[in-house]
Copies of this chain bind each other. A is one copy, B any other.
Amino acid sequence: MENKEISQAVIGRLPRYFRYLGELKDEGIERISSQELSDIMQVTASQIRQDFNNFGGFGQQGYGYKVEYLYEEIGKILGLDKTHNLIIIGAGNLGQALANYMNFERRGFIFKGIFDNNPALFGRKIKDMEVKPMGEMEAFVRENEIDIAVLTIPKTSAVEVAEKLVQNGIKGIWNFAHVDLNVPKEIQVENVHLSDSLMKLTYNIIRFENENNN
């Protein structure tokens, strides 16, 4: 654990473990073997054991994992036992969708505000939060100790807004703008480039068709 460098591939799989374990927990299942987990997640049991060994194992050979314990431990690794103040920049459809989409609070995310530069949206309520003008963003980030900003604005303004967020102490940016942000390495960025993902889908469709026509 501690300072050992864990690969981003392993980290990328943790939320999925967390999701499945949460479902098992909700179903009242108390214990699960790596083989059973392997079957429902369609990941090999050895992959699961290897991933968990990065964090000291969690389990007991031939005895299985305690679902609730494992769920909570992975949650802690993912930082979900802590609270994170979060704002959304951009109150368009995507910003609204994200505000409403997730059980932010259940996972320790505290939705603190939503900003836009369109005056027509100022004061409109999104998830009980009035849309604020962009001009208030910088002071708000400082004064409310915002950890995470969700960027759902066009790429033309995203780079400049990201710089302002960094100057005012943001720790992480969840970036939906269609541009790679160039921020200092101490700022964590998670990109969701939606159209990249759609293109990957079309690639796989075409590839499958080509393979089956040949």
Contact = CB atoms under 8 A, between A and B. Distances in A.
This protein's copies in its complex: 2
A12 interface: yes
A12 B191 CA distance: 13
A48 to B, nearest CB: 15
Interface in A48-84: 77-80, 82, 84
Interface in A177-214: 178, 180, 186, 188-190, 192-212, 214
A76 B80 CA distance: 42
Contacts of A198: 102, 107, 109, 174, 190
Given A93-B96, A174-B197, A178-B19, A79 B12 contact: no
B18 A199 contact: yes
Contact residues of A: prevailing secondary structure = helix
A84 B205 CA distance: 10
Q: Give the size range of A's interface with the partner.
A: 35 or more
**Which of A16, A147, A200, A208 has most chain B Cβ within 10 Å?**
A200
Contacts of A192: 192, 194, 197
Contact of A204 (B11, B96, B195, B214): B11
B11 A203 contact: yes
Interface of A: 2-3, 6, 8, 11-12, 14-16, 18-19, 41-42, 77-80, 82, 84, 92-94, 96-98, 100-102, 107-109, 147-148, 171-172, 174, 178, 180, 186, 188-190, 192-212, 214
